[in-house]
Structure 1
Amino acid sequence: MNILINGVGGPTPRSIARTIRRYCQFDEVKLIGTDINPVAYGLYENDLYDQTYLVPPAGHQDYWSSMESIIKTHDIDMALVHPEHEVMAWSKRMTDGEAPCKVMLPSHSMSDLLVDKSKMTEVLKNTGLVPKSYVFDSDLKEFEELEATLPYPFWVRATAGSSGLGSLKVENRNALKNWLHINPGVKRFIASTFLPGRNLAVKLLYNKGQLLRSASGERVNYIMAKVAPSGITGNTSFGRLLNEPDLVNKAIEAMDVLFEHTGSEKHGFFTADFKEDENGRPYITEINVRMVAFNMSFAAGGANFTEDIIRLLNNDESFDKNYKMYEFEPGTIFLRDVDAEPKLMNEKDLMS
């Protein structure tokens, strides 16, 4: 198989490529990588990719001609698309016609809804699945209205973007004003009830109307956490692989509402992020239309969603299409660091 991986400078595509090389059971795979940044590390990982290309960004007039040329040159069988701008471009293309090769993506309407956290929160606001929230622009003037909705402290973040963009626990009005001032690149924010509990994730794989696979985990610490005021960089350094069917069911409940709202077929891979309140009740904070960077850690633990997706796109008749929630040995944790392969172990074996 010849597989195209977009955005190879990012940690998530790198995790996916390494999963294919390390944990997938395929006879022969060629990986072709692309990125829009000429200094992206992944463009030069010759031991990982068979060939890489610098391409225009999604939305550029030459983007599709560049993609189509690469797909034709390398006889690409499927693409694993993860940068959100490219997810939007590919899902839009699928709405207008056909993608240039096989791809596992939700509808454009679902992608558009989930890329903007405020839109998703609005749809789910009466379900009890999301925290109380308030959306505002960076030039906020109605502080009293916000404060009447959410007492301090509350959590604030950008409505779009990854890696904890614009995230901070805000203690008072002056802190909020200062935060808006030092984040001029963020035009729209969402404030939500501050949730002090566990930071959780549920992964869901749907295919042609059917939920096939799920798994859950916990983010405990983050890589380079000290460089972010919130302590959240979006890249987990220490996490747990969990067996929590109740949490998975909450994610499924939310997805059912979102699929119905958008009129979309149940299709694609999603990562639903939860945060617990002081009583341990989980609330959804965002749902990604893609895998996230600790995908390889799940694969190492036996939940190989990358292989699942490739087998589905390859029409593998031996793939078991009965629903399965991946389960892990109790106490399983993973440790990650910059550009390093994750380590799995049991938490009881950590040095005290």
Structure 2
Amino acid sequence: MEKILITDVGLAPSENVIKSLNKSLIKEEIIGVARNPLHLITSKAQTKRHIPYEYVLGKDYKKSFLRILEKEKPGLAVIMNDKEILEISKFRDDINALGTKLYIPRHGVIEKCTDKFESYKIWQAEGIKVPKTMIINDISDLKKALSNLGDKEGKVWLRATVGAGGRGALPTSNYEFAKNWIDTYKGWGTFTVSELLQSTKTVTWLSIWYEGELVVAQTRKRNSWGFRNRNLSGVTGVTEVGETYSNEHVNRIAIDTIFAIDKKPHGIYGVDMTYDQNDIPNPTEINMRLFTTCYFFTEAGLNMPEIYKDIILYQKFPILEKKINPLPDGLLWIRDMDREPLLTTEEEIHKLIQ
């Protein structure tokens, strides 16, 4: 039996990958790696390995990670943390030498995607519609950005260039508030200010590519953010209600966004887009990992984690009637804390209120 190592287990993204893999036709042993022992104990991985806090992305991380690979000998490592993808990519040759495969983009591509300002500059140069953005190195940059990029109310979008889950995101028109916010994050030089988009209307285009060829892509609208009332920006990175969706304009923008960064895509590319005031989707970032709601697609009939690992471990590609948006539109995935998510439709919901 093949083995698959998955990082950051015990958290929703990785656990939903594990649940998807457990539904695949060919089963593998899942080795879960985490830095928090509480996450390990709650994980559904069959085998669990701990990397101490002080090792994570520190000087001993490479040695610790390779030691686990030497002991467990997995055929594939699935990395579920953006910063960890960047770090592991640096010693991918050592990983491959141990017989473990990675299915990730080239290192230079990963560097561009993990820095939101770098990817923004590439998209802007390629003529892709993106919100005007400035890197904030000092207070003069902040004042200039607030003056030049504000909407009718003077509001801009402030966020960290690296990180997920809406890290550091804040809509504001207040200079003192913005300055204190950046101070709190120690974010001078690593925060940007952008034009404010319609942050309530977003789509994600999750895709798998192999040596420049698209294998499959599925679009999901985000109808609402979970726990949005617990966050100043209302953006948490937690989808409360997702909906399958297809739109040719979104498809074209997503593909152009990916090719602007990588002429030969290989691995996972999840393009996040937010609509602007003219109802045009603007790319905001590309993630190179499976999303939390990949299990939504699995339950709906599209098991992307299975497709992903079957390609690398067994050279088995899916047979699909449609490569782009094979799932029907209008499927809803409703999530909340401490209960199983639910797959349903608007029609089923309306039956309850008629």
Asked if these proteins are the same fold (TM beyond 0.5), I'd say: yes
Q: CA RMSD in A?
A: 2.3
Uncovered stretches (5+) of structure 1, i.e. residues with no partner: none
What TM-score results when the alignment is normalised by the length of structure 1?
0.89
Residue type of the alignment partner of 2:3: N
Q: How does 1:69-148 map to 2 (within 5 A)?
A: 69-94=67-92, 98=96, 100=98, 101-126=100-125, 127-137=127-137, 139-148=138-147
* Corresponding letter in the other structure for 2:206: K
Q: CA deviation at 1:325?
A: 1.1
How far residue 323 of structure 1 moved from its aligned partner, in angstroms, is: 7.0
For 2:149, the equivalent position in structure 1 comes to 150
- CA shift for structure 1 position 51: 1.5
Q: Give runs of aligned pairs for residues 292-331 of structure 1, distance below 5 A.
A: 292-317=291-316, 319-320=318-319, 324-331=323-330
Return the letter of the residue paired with 2:15: R
With over 3 angstroms needed to count, the CA separation of the structure-2 counterparts of 1:81 and 1:211, relative to structure 1, is same
Distance 2:188 2:268 in 1: 27
Residue type matched to 1:315 in 2? Y
Task: State whether residues 302 and 326 of structure 1, in contact with CA within 8 Å, keep that contact through their aligned partners in structure 2.
Answer: no
Q: Distance in 2 between matches of 1:33 and 1:162?
A: 21
- Choose which of 168, 172, 175 in structure 1 pairs with 2:170: 168
User: What is the one-letter code of the residue matched to 1:10?
Assistant: L
- CA deviation digits over 1:27-84, x for unaligned, max 9? x321111112233x2x0136x1112111144443433333333223333111111212
Change in Cα spacing, 1:195 to 1:99, as seen in structure 2 (3 Å) is farther
Which residue identity lines up with residue 248 of structure 1 in the other structure? N
Which AA in structure 1 matches 2:244?
A: L
Partner Cα separation in structure 2 for residue 107 and residue 62 of structure 1? 23
**1:54 — aligned with what?**
50
Q: Does the 8 Å contact 2:243/2:329 carry over to 1?
A: no
Provide the secondary structure at the position in 1 that maps to 2:220.
strand
User: Which residue identity lines up with residue 172 of structure 1 in the other structure?
Assistant: N
**5+ unaligned residues in a row in structure 2: which ranges?**
none
1:8 partner amino acid: V
Aligned equivalents of 1:213 and 1:70: distance in 2?
31
Give the corresponding residue for 2:24.
24
The question of whether the paired residues in 1 share the 8 Å contact of 2:205 and 2:270 is answered with: yes
One-letter identity of the residue aligned with 1:241: T
Pick aligned residue for 1:201 from 201, 204, 215: 204
CA change 1:321–1:87 in 2 (3 A) is farther
Matched, 1:159 2:161: yes
Query: CA–CA distance in 1 between the matches of 2:239 and 2:298?
Result: 15
Supply the distance in 1 between the matched residues of 2:305 and 2:284 (Cα, whole angstroms).
24
Cα 1:17–1:322 shift into 2, 3 Å: same
Structure 1: distance between partners of 2:271 and 2:71: 36
Deviation at 1:215, TM superposition (A): 0.9
Do structure 1's residue 251 and structure 2's residue 254 form an aligned pair? yes
Kept in 1, the 8 Å contact 2:258–2:269? The answer is no
Counterpart of 1:66 in 2: which secondary structure?
helix
Quick check: 2:182–2:191 contact (8 Å CA) kept in 1? no
Q: Percent of counterpart pairs with the same letter?
A: 24
Provide the rounded CA distance (Å) in 2 between the counterparts of 1:340 and 1:244: 31
Select which of 196, 213, 237 maps to 1:234: 237
1:3 aligns to what?
4
1:312 offset after TM fit, Å? 0.4
Are 2:10 and 2:42, in contact at CA under 8 Å, matched by a contact in 1? Answer: no
Secondary structure of the 1:314 match is: helix
CA distance in 2, matches of 1:84, 1:317: 26
By how many angstroms is 1:222 displaced?
Answer: 2.1
- On the 8 A contact 1:58/1:85 being kept in 2, the answer is no
Deviates more, 1:7-16 or 1:69-78: 69-78
- The answer to whether the 8 Å contact 1:134/1:149 transfers is no
CA contact (8 A) 1:212 1:321 kept: no
Contact 2:146–2:173 (CA under 8 A) maintained in structure 1: no
Query: Is the contact made by 2:273 and 2:282 (CA closer than 8 Å) also made in structure 1?
Result: yes
TM norm structure 2? 0.88
